[in-house]
Amino acid sequence: MPEKVLVTGGAGYIGSHACKALARAGHIPVTFDNFSTGWRDAVRFGPMVEGDLLDRGALDAAFEKHRPDAVMHFAALSQVGEAVREPGLYWRVNVGGSLNLIEAALAAGVKRFVFSSTCATYGDQDGVVLTEDTPQAPLNAYGASKRAIEDMLADFAVSDGLESVIFRYFNVAGADPEGEVGEHHQPETHLIPLILDAVDGRRPALTINGTDYPTADGTCIRDYVHVMDLVEAHVAGLDWLRAGKGSRVFCLGTGTGFSVREVVAETRHVTNRTVPMQDGPRRPGDAVTLVCGSERARTELGWQADRSTMAQMIADAWRWHQNGHYDR
């Protein structure tokens, strides 16, 4: 049966791909977004509500008008550097906004909640393949705000019977292979789009953030997941809740890490172009190695990260980079 899902942040990178996956699965995604970082052009798969999570009245009106069956919550500030400089923003927007959202959902009788959390809730755990049971120790207000929201969901489960599926993941990459939506951040801080900017001359060169880390080639290692695989897990999370399976946390990763230099080499291979680059200093706050397993998601949700090969992620990102764009 089709479900109506209020998707906060539906105009953003992951949210817009989630809306596409929901629509493809026969659901109706209702985007709720304040367009602070999202794009109107990215809202293509269902109704749109312009509103802010800090505005409880706007949330109540959206629940009243659209009567969703469930919530999928992506909207958040997500830049670690900014979180370190301005922690108040992260506590106010991410935590305060989510509290409004949860209370508005419960007031409207909506008790199913899929939440986009992060492996930044774990902090620096170099060398460990993270699982759902790894203790969380966030290092900054971004990770702390996401963990606080996880805690909040647990509290409202006890008080009001709220049921949630929480996904924790790291580096999301790639784009819709059909090119309807893609990754567009302003400013861009993520590795793969920055490499592609250097490839096609939008930027003079990629700067490698540190080349003296204790890894085989001296650069940081990350776990990259294809955005389409990632959002399919979110749709499966919705099904999980609808089937009455109850609250659950899932990590989403491939369990395989790639160094910055390996990502650059693969980009050279996929695009058949040179990647202008220069060595730079370490970026404050970067962990050496972050890799996360997905045993639970695979066994319990039937999740398969089929598209999450580095070549596929870069090829899809490159196609979008060359052909896709958004106007606000």
Q: How far is the CB of 92 from ligand UDP (least distance, A)?
A: 22
Cβ proximity to ligand UDP: between 75 and 292 the closer is 292
250: phi then psi, degrees, rounded to nearest 5:
-135, 135
Residue facing ligand UDP at closest CB distance: 220
Cβ proximity to ligand UDP: between 82 and 286 the closer is 286
Q: How far is the CB of 128 from ligand UDP (least distance, A)?
A: 16
Among 260, 291, 259, smallest CA distance to 278 is for: 260
Q: How far is the CB of 286 from ligand UDP (least distance, A)?
A: 5
Cβ proximity to ligand UDP: between 6 and 141 the closer is 141
Q: By rule CB under 6 A, what count of residues binds ligand UDP?
A: 14
In the window 179-238, what residues touch ligand UDP (CB under 6 A)?
189-191, 194, 206-209, 220, 222
146 binds ligand UDP (CB under 6 A): no
Cβ proximity to ligand UDP: between 278 and 322 the closer is 278
Q: Is 142 a catalytic residue?
A: yes
Long-range contacts of residues 193-200, Cβ cutoff 8 Å, at least 24 apart: 193/317, 193/321, 195/263, 195/264, 195/267, 195/275, 196/267, 196/271, 196/317, 196/318, 196/321, 197/321, 198/275, 198/276, 198/277, 199/267, 199/271, 199/273, 199/274, 199/275, 199/318, 200/273, 200/321, 200/322
Cβ proximity to ligand UDP: between 21 and 260 the closer is 260
289 binds ligand UDP (CB under 6 A): no
286 binds ligand UDP (CB under 6 A): yes
Q: Out of 13, 142, 213, 224, pick the active-site residue.
A: 142
> β-pairing, 163-169 with 112-116?
parallel
Cβ proximity to ligand UDP: between 63 and 169 the closer is 169
Among positions 108, 260, 314, 315, the unique one binding ligand UDP when judged by CB under 6 A: 260
In the window 151-180, what residues touch ligand UDP (CB under 6 A)?
171
Binding site for ligand UDP (CB under 6 A): 171, 189-191, 194, 206-209, 220, 222, 260, 283, 286
Active site members: 142
